[in-house]
Amino acid sequence: MRVRSHILGGELRIPSRTRELTERELEVLVLLDGELSARQMAQKLYVSPNTARAHIQSIYRKLGTSSRGEAVEEARARGLL
């Protein structure tokens, strides 16, 4: 399954086991693997900081993690990054 990424300018490949993450959550996940703050991610995604933080919390919940580092590590283990 492929999803068009509006922010990243390309396509994201989504393995079937990760369908629980939305397209937007996958875009945020890619940004989590960098050094941007939640506010900076929000600006890049053209959403409010509260919306960005809600996406981040949803990612943590769906990946079973509780921090940015854990989420990135789990995403790599699942082949998302």
List of long-range contacts for 1-10, beta carbons under 8 Å, 24+ apart:
5/30, 7/44, 7/45
- Which residue(s) pair with 12 in the sheet? 3
- pLDDT (tens digit, 9 = 90+) per residue, 24-68? 999 999 999 999 999 999 999 999 999 999 999 999 999 999 999
pLDDT value, residue 3 = 47
Q: How confident is the model at residue 20 (pLDDT cuts 50, 70, 90)?
A: confident
| Of 8 and 33, the one with more pLDDT | 33
Q: What is the pTM of this model?
A: 0.75
What average pLDDT does the segment 69-78 reach? 94
Token representation of residue 47: 């959403």
Domains and CATH numbers, the chain: 2-77 (1.10.10.10)
Instruction: Please give the C-alpha separations between residue 7 and each of 15, 22, 28, 31, 48, in angstroms, as whole numbers.
Output: 20, 14, 10, 10, 15
Q: Answer for the pair 32, 56: CB distance below 8 angstroms, yes or no.
A: yes
| Of 2 and 67, the one with more pLDDT | 67
